[in-house]
Amino acid sequence: MYRNLTIRQKQIVWAWAFLAIPILFYSVIRFYPTGNAILISFQDWNLLGDRTWTGLDNYQKLFADPVFWKVFKNTFVYLLIGTPVSLLISFVIAYHLDQVRFMHGFLRTLYFLPFMTSAVAMAWVWRWFYQPVPVGLFNNALASIGIPQFPFLQSTTWALPSVLAPAGWAGLGFQVIIFMAGLRAIPRSYYEAARIDGVSWWTVLWEITLPLLKPTIVFIVVFSSIGFLRIFDHVFNMTTNNPGGPLNSTKPLVLMIYETAFSAFDMGYAAAQTVVLFLVLLVVSLIQLRILRDS
């Protein structure tokens, strides 16, 4: 039968044969669990017993839960502070590093090192930095010059920024490398033309560098947004005794999902939270892709 096909048809058969592998892979590894999670979100299940249908109960409970709204807000605070701040810092570093010749490779390595370090190890070291007197590095330094202790992780106001700082720092190396690649890709001739015209440094940055970096910026924004929306390991490891504390002030959505599923064993409720996270990620990514298409 295969022999009777035209060349064009044979090509199609082969294309589908190759496509079938990723499709099968995605069906089993991605789509089936996703569908199952959506199904469980309408059910009551404690992991051990039978699943029972509860309709929209889990979603009603979710929207009436003040902890959920608190956590929802936290998740966006991580995103809205984390992404722009890390973007700005990494651009400034990349911009200047790009012009440095002295020990360029070594400096670049230093910036990239945190990205290769395990988040768990890093979170625990920072957790130690933040401790109150007599163990914490920062507070011991403050105390030794007579300044009162600062409640890094013990304050509902400062705990989130304190957790965010090492998380942002950890991702910095990656963003710096991407930015530098983007900067290198801008043709030199534009800069040379600008210099001949005697344009100011600011105009060069604003009219040449930034517009031509747009694809790079969009990529980093999408990438780091998804990262901050899914933040978990830094928060969990820096607050293990009181996960997401104090008073849920550092708790992101993923940590709430984890606790609902694996401490409370309320899988239906956890699945409902997962569906909400999925929708949030979807919407944020679609908006960002829309911006990308404009360019």
Partner 1 sequence: MAFFNVKALAVATATSAAALFSTAAQAVEIEYWQYFFDARVKAMETLIENFQEANPDITVKMTHFPYADYRTKVAAAIPAGEGPDVVQLFYGWLNDYVAAELIQPLPADVFPTSQIDAEFFPMVQAMKDGDAYWALPTAVRSLALFYNERLLEEAGVEPPTTLDEMIAAAKAMTKRDGAGNLTQVGMTAGMTAQDHHWWREGLVRQFGGEPYVDDYQTVNYNSDAGLEALNFYASLFSGDDAVSAIGFMDEPQAAFKAGRAGLHIDGSFRIGSLNDTRGLKWGVTELPATADGTRSNYSSYWVNAITTKAEGEKYDAAVKFMQYITSDEAMQIWLDVVGELPAKPSVGLTDANANDPVFGPFIKGLAYAHTTKFANESGQRQLMVEMVERMTLQGMSAEESLAIAAEAEQKILDDYYKSASN
Q: Which residues contact partner 1 by CB under 8 A?
A: 44, 46-49, 52, 127-128, 131-135, 139, 143, 146, 148-149, 153-156, 241-242, 245-248, 259, 262-265
Provide the β-strand partners of residue 53.
43
Pick 114 or 245: Cβ nearer partner 1: 245
Pick 94 or 272: Cβ nearer partner 1: 272
CB of 152 to partner 1, least distance (A): 10
Distance (Å, rounded) from C-alpha 72 to C-alpha 78? 10
CB of 242 to partner 1, least distance (A): 5
CB of 37 to partner 1, least distance (A): 15
CB of 264 to partner 1, least distance (A): 5
Provide the β-strand partners of residue 52.
44
Pick 112 or 258: Cβ nearer partner 1: 258
CB 241 within 8 Å of CB 10: no
CB of 245 to partner 1, least distance (A): 7
HSE-CB for 231 with a 13 A CA cutoff = 34
Pick 108 or 259: Cβ nearer partner 1: 259
Cα dist from 268 to 46, 49, 62, 257, 271, whole Å: 8, 12, 11, 10, 5
Query: Structure tokens of 295?
Result: 């360019």
CB of 148 to partner 1, least distance (A): 6
Pick 17 or 64: Cβ nearer partner 1: 64
Distance (Å, rounded) from C-alpha 51 to C-alpha 44? 6
Distance (Å, rounded) from C-alpha 112 to C-alpha 115? 6
- 67: nearest Cα among 267, 294, 253, 280: 253
Distance (Å, rounded) from C-alpha 13 to C-alpha 16? 5
Pick 263 or 295: Cβ nearer partner 1: 263
CB of 231 to partner 1, least distance (A): 20
| Angle (CA) 72 237 37, round 5° | 50
Pick 146 or 198: Cβ nearer partner 1: 146
CB 106 within 8 Å of CB 191: no
